[in-house]
Amino acid sequence: MSEDHRSVRPPRRTSHEGESSLEESRRFAPETSRRDFLGLAAAWAAVAAVAAAAIGSLRLPMPSVFPESNSQVKLGPPGGFKPDSATYLPELSAWVFRDEQGLYAISSVCTHLGCIAGREPDGRFKCPCHGSIFEADGKVVGGPAPKGLNWLAMSLSPDGQLVVDKVRTVKSGTRFTA
């Protein structure tokens, strides 16, 4: 029989061919005590906890929420917005208006808790969450909202498209002329 260095038990010694001695029988081996079992369980639990912590620490350099790289959104040519029109842009949660003075964009995000205010048939905005009411120009007239709806900055890109910046706000009443 070849030597196996990985083997924990010593090689069998046989007194007679095919028989093993009583000392080497599993029947007479000492039983694993409760203390040994609990010690092994605690050791494996510690190894598992360290492994889980190591895997978790590998995720730390990667943010779970990526900031938006560009807050400016192209809307197309300014001529696409007809005079005296109101166009809702769901990807911006904003309304783009065109009147005789020019173009302007108003965010429909309520300044109270960030709900999306809907536009009523009369042109006013109403927040469905807590009942804030805003005039057609975004000024707050009722409800818990602390200030009016934000007016968003507008510009023209080098390729002639209308651009709305969903982060940068302008003073209420500011129009963009193209």
Q: What percent of the chain has pLDDT over 90?
A: 30
pLDDT along the chain (178 residues), means of 10: 54 55 69 85 96 86 65 84 88 89 91 88 90 90 89 91 88 84
Rounded Cα distance, 46 and 67, in Å = 36
DSSP 41: H
Q: What per-residue confidence (pLDDT) applies to 42? A: 95
Q: What per-residue confidence (pLDDT) applies to 173? A: 85
Q: What per-residue confidence (pLDDT) applies to 10? A: 57
Q: What per-residue confidence (pLDDT) applies to 23? A: 64
Rounded Cα distance, 85 and 67, in Å = 32
Find residue 107's DSSP bridge partners: 94
Q: Domain segments of the chain: what residues?
A: 22-58, 72-170
CATH number of 72-170: 2.102.10.10
